Amino acid sequence: MARVRLEHVTKRYDDQGDVVTAVDDMNLDIAHGEFICFVGPSGCGKSTTMETIAGLTIPTEGEIYIGDREVTNLPPKDRGIAMVFQNIALFPHMDVYDNISFGLRLRDYPQDEIDRRVERAADIVQLEGMLNRMPEEMSGGQRQRVAIARAIVREPDVFLMDEPLANLDAKLKVHMRTELQRLHKELDTTIIYVTHDQEEAMTLSDRIAVLDSGQLQQIDPPLTCYNEPDNLFVAGFIGSPSMNFVEGTVTETTLETPNFSLEFNPSSIEGVGVGDNVTLGIRPEDIYPGDLQSEVPDPSGMITATTDILEPMGDEIFAYLLLGDGETSMSQELATNDQLLMSIDPDSDLEEDEELGVVIDRRNVHLFDSATGEAIVHDLIPYEAEGTASSSEVESDD
């Protein structure tokens, strides 16, 4: 079974006398057959973590297990892994068959076994009829499929993929994401995939491991990371466009921000007290023009704003809203509290520099501790209408 475990893995480097911690006390348990994405900004430690799993670098502390074996100090060839890199690195003087079979021939596999594995891999990645082609005769996507086939023929316990789609154009990336999902379904093998592209992570993985500064911030299914981020970093990194953040203070009945207030019941939320400084998070799709207030499940009061910039995206329009006095210029840097990004219907007749009212769906408001960045709650609990029993109370009376 290709279960992968990291126990307290730490990797430090000596950078001209300064100690740099690339991976900090990493604990992961990846089940057999899972598709896991390591995602985070440049320098977050995702590639270093993969390199420790691959055996390309030895951790300073901690242990790594693949299946039932501890592999911490084993060389890559003895770990039962295969890697696909961002740089495709095919041999230009070899045809597709020879590129795919190269590793098997080095290990002196019988010719009939090499033929079987190459034909199976070519079928899986849809390279039938191309085995006699040279790399220069192939498109970027086809060359990447050759690199993947070269990994498949090894029949590894674990596939390690380090940004394999980074050099492809946008259309080809979307196609290859589909190919990788199909490949995972076909092989039923553990895949660990490194990317800085959170869209890739959301669409490909069973779970996302979000890293920052060498530390694991959250590991959960994509929609859990999106809807219930553990902290401000995950909330801001997962989702495109990013979540809006506004600083506020809790009162007995509201969340007060510099430009608006939201009514809610703080006494019903554990970890929230009057006077607390919190950060409100709201995604662009949970902000609505005021004329749609009746369609919002739990709308806030009306918030006055002015449209700044409109960005038509085809299936939606991103509307950048100014709060407060609604004035800005090229020489001014807007404070986070003075702006919101709203996603609206592409048929909207909203124009730039237009004053409007907007409402927020309080069910999807996230609160974070301003000091620690940790999540407190992922919806603002409204007040129950006085004298109205909840559904659970009605059921219990029956």
Q: What is the pLDDT of residues 194-209, one digit of tens each?
A: 998 888 999 999 999 9
Q: Is 107 exposed, middle or buried (0-12, 13-18, 19+ CB in 10 A)?
A: exposed
Q: Is residue 61 part of a domain?
A: yes
pLDDT at 398 over 60: no
pLDDT interval class at 341 (50, 70, 90):
very high
Number of separate domains in the chain? 2
Task: Please give the Cα distance from 205 to 30 (Å, whole number).
Answer: 12
**Same domain, residue pair 58 and 205:** yes
| Average pLDDT score over the chain | 88
| Final residue in a domain of this structure, among 231, 253, 279 | 231
Question: 217: which 2 tokens?
Answer: 């911030």
Q: Is residue 271 part of a domain?
A: yes
- Mean pLDDT value of segment 45-63: 95
**Same domain, residue pair 203 and 56:** yes
Phi, psi of 375 (to 5 degrees): -70, 140
Q: Decide which of 146 and 393 is more confident.
A: 146
pLDDT interval class at 249 (50, 70, 90):
very high
pLDDT at 328 over 70: no
Q: Is residue 247 part of a domain?
A: yes
Task: Please give the Cα distance from 285 to 340 (Å, whole number).
Answer: 11
| Final residue in a domain of this structure, among 186, 202, 231 | 231
What are the distances in angstroms from CA 107 to CA 56, 89, 153, 378? 20, 20, 12, 54
Task: Please give the Cα distance from 100 to 90 (Å, whole number).
Answer: 9
**Same domain, residue pair 189 and 274:** no
pLDDT at 177 over 80: yes
Residue with tokens 């440049």: 42
Q: What is the pLDDT of residues 359-385, one digit of tens each?
A: 999 999 999 999 999 999 998 876 553
* SS3 state of residue 375: strand
Q: Is residue 67 part of a domain?
A: yes
Cβ 46 vs Cβ 38: under 8 Å: yes
**Same domain, residue pair 225 and 269:** no
Q: Is residue 397 part of a domain?
A: no
Range of the structural domain that residue 108 is part of: 4-231
**Same domain, residue pair 98 and 33:** yes
Cross-strand bridge partners of residue 263: 254
Q: Is residue 225 part of a domain?
A: yes
**Same domain, residue pair 46 and 183:** yes
pLDDT at 230 over 70: yes
pLDDT at 386 over 50: no
**What pLDDT, on a 0 to 100 scale, did the predictor assign at position 382?**
65
* SS3 state of residue 171: helix
- Mean pLDDT value of segment 133-138: 92
Q: Is residue 344 part of a domain?
A: yes
**Same domain, residue pair 137 and 284:** no
CATH number at residue 385: 2.40.50.140
**Same domain, residue pair 253 and 314:** yes
pLDDT at 48 over 50: yes
Q: What is the pLDDT of residues 77-93, one digit of tens each?
A: 899 999 988 777 889 99
Residue with tokens 């993947």: 148
Q: Quick one: which of 287, 265, 226 has its CA closest to 381?
A: 265
Q: Is 370 exposed, middle or buried (0-12, 13-18, 19+ CB in 10 A)?
A: middle
Quick one: which H or E segment has residue 288? Answer: strand 287-289
Task: Please give the Cα distance from 104 to 398 (Å, whole number).
Answer: 69
* SS3 state of residue 170: helix
What are the distances in angstroms from CA 135 to CA 154, 224, 279? 20, 41, 52
| Final residue in a domain of this structure, among 231, 256, 281 | 231
Cross-strand bridge partners of residue 335: none
What are the distances in angstroms from CA 269 to CA 149, 266, 301, 336? 52, 5, 20, 25
**Same domain, residue pair 27 and 83:** yes
What does the longest C-alpha to C-alpha distance in the chain come to? 80
**Same domain, residue pair 270 and 200:** no
- How many Cβ atoms are within 10 Å of 256's Cβ, its own excluded? 13
CATH number at residue 72: 3.40.50.300
**Same domain, residue pair 264 and 379:** yes
**Same domain, residue pair 226 and 309:** no
- Mean pLDDT value of segment 143-162: 90
pLDDT at 268 over 70: yes
Q: Is residue 201 part of a domain?
A: yes
